[in-house]
Chains A and B, each alone.
Chain A
Amino acid sequence: MIIYVLIVVVIIPILWAVITYNRLISLRAHLKNAWAGIDVQLKRRYDLIPNLVETAKGYLKHEREVLENVIKARSQAISASGVQDQAKAENFLTQTLKSLFAVVENYPDLKANQNMLTLHEELTSTENRVSFARNHYNDWTAKLNIAIQRFPNRIIANLFNFKKAEFFEIEDVSVRRAPEVKF
């Protein structure tokens, strides 16, 4: 009889604690992996931008501002650290790139340039990859955060100092705001 009580009182909670701890650990590892996935794609984007600027430079002599903005945004993004800062810098970079391509639309020669076509395709692809990688990262973040905040798990999380992860969010207000309607 005493043995059964012992099992119920001691062994089962210990077992539960071990399982929960292991689960949290593996979630955290997955999260780290997902973050690394974002990093790879961001790096790919940084590598493409100098080529892009080089190709566009010859044509866009009167639009130096746009190009300088892109270069500035890139160096900001490279030096950013932490999820929030990185997200902010990336959003700025995305915006400057968008305005660059809007300018390119006005230069048919540049638009039809073979190099430019390839670069445009590569950049589009990279943008997509960044956003997919971000989605994936956010999926895991949500999973980890839920696991940490749930009631019995919370004890283990507090005990072993598991912290909530930050979402990689789009901070840009214009993306969130609904488009204005004018008549």
Chain B
Amino acid sequence: MALTYVEIEQEKSYRIFLLFAILIVFYFLTALILGYILKFFITFRIALSHPGLSIRFALTPIQILFIFFVSLVAAIIHLRFSLNRLLGKFILRLGAKPLDRKDRYHQRLRNIVEEASVAIGSRYQIRGMVLPTLAMNAFALADFDNNAIIGVTEGLISRLNRSQLEAVVAHETAHIAQGDCLQNTITCSLFGVYALILSKIRNQLESRGRRYYGRAGAQVMALAVVTYLTLSILQGMARFIKLTISRQREYRADATAVRINRNPLGLAEALYEISRNWRGSGDIGDGLESLFIMNPRANELDESEGLWADLFSTHPPISKRIKILLAMAHSEIRVLEEKRKAKKRLKKARRAPKKVSLGRGSWYAHDKEGNWKGPYTLPQLVALSWFRPSSWVYQKGKGKAERAFRNPSLSKMLAKRIRGRTTGNLRCPRCNQCLLEKEYEGTTVYRCMFCGGKFLENDKVARILLREERVFLERILKLAKEMVGKNVKRYTIKRWKKLPKEFPQLKCPSCLKEMRRTFYSLAYPIEVDRCYGCQATWFDKDELAILQCAIENNLAGKKIA
């Protein structure tokens, strides 16, 4: 076995060569079979029209040579298209995003990835990326120019501690250094990418097939069927190619990861956590499973041993991997289970005590209790502690009452109260004031100083929901329980869809389209405002905390209120 990272690299090139050879052989065989069929039909027709002619079904050597040439060209075209922009295609396909510089957790991952690249002697340009999903998994990609990508899901970034994350990244780095990452990337690019097209065509055939009649429909169908068949063959072949992706490489990568940061326990804990959570089945496309540290789809084949499983499975049994690592660390699986339980208990115990809230012209203002207070001068009015941009104001002798933010001079004076870094063009949909950039659970959110609402881009919602730094007040927990309980009882999907949208709708701060008030999800029916233009979400005061609290405490489906 190779001992240093320097030596590991040298044995990888022959495997890639083997892959190309297999591709060419496959094309040749397919073309040969097609050639025979074609020849058979042509000869048959000639024989029918000219009876008495001597018939030869076999191909002549020149024809075989021609077929070989054609298949070679086809294989080369296939290669060129597959290897062109190798990494970019995968990034697009997996939906991986670059790391956010302002996010503390992302910065940590970036550091860890750079450490790993130092550990293997900086021969690869390794880039960290993130998959915006709640699932827990990680993958690695590499191309011919020594560029590599280590992608980690938001779930993993947020839920693992530093040493566990280091171990996962070390595992992926080991794949890169051993070269099975490059081989794997190429295999997936050659054969895996078609699974998506395949499933799409299958859906089309099943749902639309019956609708097309007539000549045009038949032609479309025929084309679809032919494409489908070709792709099926390719996919079948991808399965065959999996034979070359050995299970052993996962064990080897685990071992090398331990060599890199000498922390078998960290890797064992990380694998245990991943195996206990959703690994992204359904979210991560077919045919790319072998890129990941653990198969996104839990299946029996992976968990079983023996020759058959060894041949056709890409990942070894998780329990065995963990057992080997724990043996290195002189520990047992029981310890991990207890740790997990203790963490859960700790989470329950961690609730903060109640917070005590502190708390004053010709202008009148409407206070919280519903009384008109006044008269005030303009500066007095703005200085009132309970005065908000959304408060109703009324100027004596000026007729109608209006919201404070609608009045230009009031709005300007209120803007002076804002302290901190503003975002300039993002304005609170309720108060029409600039939003502040604020750190929340390690990432930046946009918060309105006056109403306490928060504005989040799409991928940040998932991030925040995963992180558990904040401690919630008893009040929030109570609210969360009540809301989830009541709303689950009250709204089924049908009833929710029928509800009229009568309330005034807010404008999205970033794209100014109207947002829709909906539930976060049917399992967690907390009301939020979602923009369907830019996929961002506006949370009114406490709504985000309530949602986080509900998810952390697993309140879905429990009828409490």
Contact = CB atoms under 8 A, between A and B. Distances in A.
Contacts of B115: 125, 128-129, 132
Interface stretch (A98-106, A134-142, A158-166, A167-175): A134-142
A65 interface: no
Interface string B110-144: 01101110111110000000000000000000000
A124 B112 CA distance: 10
B439 interface: yes
B18 interface: no
Instruction: Tell me the dominant secondary structure on chain B's binding face.
Output: helix
Contacts of A122: 111
Interface in A97-137: 114, 117-118, 121-122, 124-125, 128-129, 132-133, 135-136
Interface in B159-176: 162, 166
Interface in B66-122: 104, 107-108, 111-112, 114-116, 118-122
Given A117-B104, A121-B111, A132 B260 contact: yes
B439 A114 contact: yes
A111 B4 CA distance: 39
A125 B114 contact: yes
Contact of A140 (B6, B107, B111, B116): B6
Contacts of B116: 132
Nearest to B105: A121
Contacts of A133: 118
A129 B261 CA distance: 11
Contact of A118 (B104, B114, B122): B104
A135 B261 CA distance: 10
Given A114-B439, A121-B108, A143-B6, A135 B119 contact: yes
Contact of A121 (B104, B114, B119, B122): B104
B5 interface: yes
A182 to B, nearest CB: 21
Given A121-B107, A121-B108, A41 B6 contact: no
A37 B118 contact: yes
A87 interface: no
A121 B108 CA distance: 7
A181 to B, nearest CB: 16
Contacts of A140: 6
Interface string B515-532: 000000000000000000
A118 B104 CA distance: 7
A34 interface: yes
B260 to A, nearest CB: 7
B104 A136 contact: no
B119 A125 contact: no
Interface string B430-443: 00000000010000
B90 to A, nearest CB: 27
B119 A136 contact: yes
Contact of A132 (B111, B118, B162, B439): B118
A151 to B, nearest CB: 21
A135 B3 CA distance: 13
A114 B104 CA distance: 10
A56 B286 CA distance: 51
From B115, B118, B121, B122, residue with most partner A Cβ within 10 Å: B118
B162 A124 contact: yes
Contacts of B260: 132
Interface string A37-49: 1000100000000
Contacts of A41: 118
Contacts of B118: 37, 41, 129, 132-133, 136
B103 to A, nearest CB: 11
Contacts of B439: 114
Interface hub of B5, B112, B119 (most chain A Cβ within 10 A): B119
Residue among A118, A124, A136 with the highest chain B CB neighbour number at 10 A: A136
Contacts of A118: 104, 107
Given A121-B108, A124-B162, A132 B119 contact: yes
Given A41-B118, A114-B439, A125 B112 contact: yes
Contacts of B261: 128
B8 to A, nearest CB: 11
B4 A139 contact: yes
Interface string B4-25: 1110000000000000000000
A176 to B, nearest CB: 15
A114 B119 CA distance: 29
A171 B5 CA distance: 25
A31 B122 CA distance: 13
Contacts of A132: 115-116, 118-119, 260
A58 B111 CA distance: 27
Contacts of A128: 115, 166, 261
B112 to A, nearest CB: 7
A41 B114 CA distance: 11
A140 B121 CA distance: 10
B436 to A, nearest CB: 15
A169 B118 CA distance: 18
B4 to A, nearest CB: 5
A133 B119 CA distance: 6
Interface of A: 34, 37, 41, 114, 117-118, 121-122, 124-125, 128-129, 132-133, 135-136, 139-140, 143
Closest 10 CB pairs of A and B: A125-B111, A132-B119, A128-B115, A132-B118, A129-B118, A139-B4, A136-B121, A129-B115, A133-B118, A121-B108
Interface of B: 4-6, 104, 107-108, 111-112, 114-116, 118-122, 162, 166, 260-261, 439
Given A121-B111, A125-B115, 5 more contacts: A37-B122, A121-B104, A124-B162, A136-B5, A140-B6
10 contacts: A34-B121, A117-B104, A125-B115, A128-B115, A129-B114, A132-B118, A132-B119, A133-B118, A136-B121, A139-B6
